[in-house]
Amino acid sequence: MRPIAIIYENEGWMAPTFEALDREGAPYERVFANAQEFDPSAPAPEWSLAVNKVSPSSYLRGHAPSIAFARQFLPFLEERGVPIVNGSEAFRLETSKALQLLLLHRIGVAAPAAHVVNDPARIPDAARGLRFPVIVKPNIGGSGALARRFASAEALRDEAPSIELGPDGTGLVQEYLEPADGSIVRVEFLDGEFLYAIKIWSQKDGDFNLCPADICQVPGAEIVTGATSELVTSKKQMRIEAFDPPREMIDAVLRIAREGRLDVGGVEYLVAARDGTPYVYDVNALSNFVTDAMSLVGFDPHERFARYLLGRARTEAHA
């Protein structure tokens, strides 16, 4: 069988997947996206399958070129008939929170009210009509990086000039919804099916990095309650439990996956204290899966992912 190409930019994040593929005896090729070249007029590489694992948080690790490369390389592979797990449409969604909101609105899934902005000077205006507190976060996000919460319009106005909107210069001003029990839910899916779900409780206000994997160590979340702010520079302790979501939320997540052309990923939602409504606030095409999954959910999701990749590669080879 021809090799499976794993297109990635974070070696540490990919180690469990590589180990699972090794255990399955799957032939694969590592494609480090931050140092690549390709000829747009040439044939595609001889791969049975390509897997896009480039993260929107790449720029936080000095790997911003990975995002640009994936945006150009994935369509190149698709035009030449190489099957891709989380291809260009999925990556387009992954790297735009604004497009995620458009998708949620189109399919009727509730999301926090938000306005899109591309100039820090316009942020106070963009917050008009929204309920405080609000969060300002980059359109291209990742593990809560650069997200800031503001308790009042005055605090937002004072801090607006210092707000970073991320690599594409675009951000969201979004209503902050307090979770009813202090938790959020992350629902993971694979190949159009529910994989598992977990509840996560944050133990420190203002840290928007709720990635449940220990390898997600991304600084930059910030909380602003007045004239001062606190920078969160390390991953904190989190309480995580397995969870059985209501059927309607599982259906909503799988609808998001289907409409967004996502083969694998996770969707996060919370039940708002103010009205008891579940709101989806993040769509992730790249999932690192939860730490200690065997104890929490009873199986190794990396193993299931590796078997899915091997099975799909074999199926594609005989198509």
Domain-by-domain residue ranges, the chain? 4-87+303-317
Burial 225-264 (b: 16+ CB within 10 A, else e): eeeebeebeebeebebeebebeeebbebbbbbbeebbbbb
Phi/psi for 294 (5° steps) reads -60, -40
User: Which of 95, 96, 163 has the alpha carbon at shortest distance from 134?
Assistant: 163
Alpha-carbon span 301 to 230, nearest angstrom? 35
CATH 3.40.50.20 corresponds to the domain 4-87+303-317? yes
pLDDT of 18-30, one tens digit each?
999 999 999 999 9
pLDDT at 317: 77
pLDDT of 265-311, one tens digit each?
999 999 999 999 999 999 999 888 888 899 999 999 999 999 999 99
pLDDT of 202-260, one tens digit each?
765 554 444 444 434 444 433 333 332 233 334 456 789 999 999 999 999 999 999 99
Residue with tokens 């600084």, as numbered in its chain: 219
Contact present, 73 and 7 (Cβ < 8 Å): yes
Phi/psi for 13 (5° steps) reads -65, -35
Tell me the whole-structure pTM to 2 decimals: 0.88
Report percent pLDDT > 70 for the chain.
88
Contact present, 99 and 139 (Cβ < 8 Å): no
Report the pLDDT averaged over residues 31-53: 95
Which residues face 189 on adjacent strands?
Answer: 194, 265
Report percent pLDDT > 90 for the chain.
78
Phi/psi for 187 (5° steps) reads -110, 120
Alpha-carbon span 111 to 114, nearest angstrom? 9
pLDDT of 167-195, one tens digit each?
999 999 999 999 999 999 999 999 999 99
pLDDT at 316: 87
Alpha-carbon span 4 to 26, nearest angstrom? 8
User: Which of 216, 174, 234, 266 has the alpha carbon at shortest distance from 16?
Assistant: 216
CA atoms within 13 A on the CB side of 135: 24
Report the pLDDT averaged over residues 107-132: 97
Which residues face 29 on adjacent strands?
Answer: 5
Report the pLDDT averaged over residues 119-143: 93
pLDDT at 216: 45
Contacts of 109 (CB under 8 A, 6+ apart): 252, 255, 256, 280
pLDDT of 53-76, one tens digit each?
999 988 888 898 999 999 999 999
Alpha-carbon span 29 to 47, nearest angstrom? 9
